[in-house]
Amino acid sequence: MTHTDDEFSFLQGQVDLLGLSGPVPSVRRASVEFGSATVSALLWTERPELTFLHGGGLNAHTWDATVLSLGRAAIAVDLPGHGRSSWRDDLDYSPATNAPEVAAVLDQFAGGTPQHIVGQSLGGLTGIALLGQRPDLVQSLVVVDISPGVLPEDTGQVRDFLAGPQIFSSREEVVEKAFASGLGSSKEQLVRGVTLNTRVRDDGSVVFRHHLANLEPGQSVHTGDFTTLWAPLEHSDVPVLLVRGSRGFLPPPVIAEFTERVPRARVLELDAGHNVHEQQPAALAAAIHEFIATVS
């Protein structure tokens, strides 16, 4: 497995795998300062119209294939504590705390232009929090395999993966653990994801880039009460698309609650697990394209 530190080295392979024509679109690393923190992001050409927010334990590159499939100007944010964004000493990675840092990125690189917000898991909840705090930044909202009504017992897949020793002898070991946990559709794609989400230390050991897997004994992150996020959805008329993975986190009763409480929401199911954007990037991109065409 490669130990490259070139974060864009996989893009041509993604283009080829997706069967896309033409060169790799322009993309660069960008960041803003928010208080004492740095918030990092990937800027896919200038003047983004879509903003992508990843799930817990992932990073902005998890959206590469979806962004490439869409072929539209976008920005993908590394949420606080993830990717190349700063870790928080207070361990508060709740959606309500994440949202102002996302807003700072959009104020800087989108000029405050309302965005089509696409968020998966923790990123979806952060998008809902952003809707509540900065509705001027949200033109529409795509929520991928998450709901304020998600039950703790339905999120065991990710919890199990992050449990246990988080220092590895190699990236191959991480890939095998992730594959055994059911988090990827192919080892080829997991190799890419693991390479971009880990770093090799001077002693040759491998650790994740995100804070969640680098806690001290006795520490735990704060994610807040997700049920408080019903209010932004219920008190707004912003168009909403809920995308459910058929093998993801949202059982039928949770979907039913979402549609009852947010009746304007459209619901789409794709044949995927929780990480819909990694397992079905082209299908998700097509759904996003169709959805925003009706609300732009």
Residues designated as active site: 121, 145, 274
11-152+222-293 in CATH: which number? Answer: 3.40.50.1820
Task: Give the torsion through C-alpha atoms of 33, 78, 142, 153, to 10 deg.
Answer: -120
d(CA 178, CA 255): 27
Token pair of 120 as six digits: 């998966």
Give the end-to-end CA distance of the chain in Å, rounded to a whole number.
42
Cβ-based neighbours of 253, under 8 Å, separated by 6 or more: none
Q: Is the pLDDT of residue 43 over 50?
A: yes
From the list 264, 236, 270, the residue with the least C-alpha distance to 250 is 270
Structural domain spans, the chain: 11-152+222-293
The pLDDT value given to residue 188: 79
More confident residue, 177 or 153: 177
Q: What is the pTM of this model?
A: 0.93
Average pLDDT over residues 227-246: 98
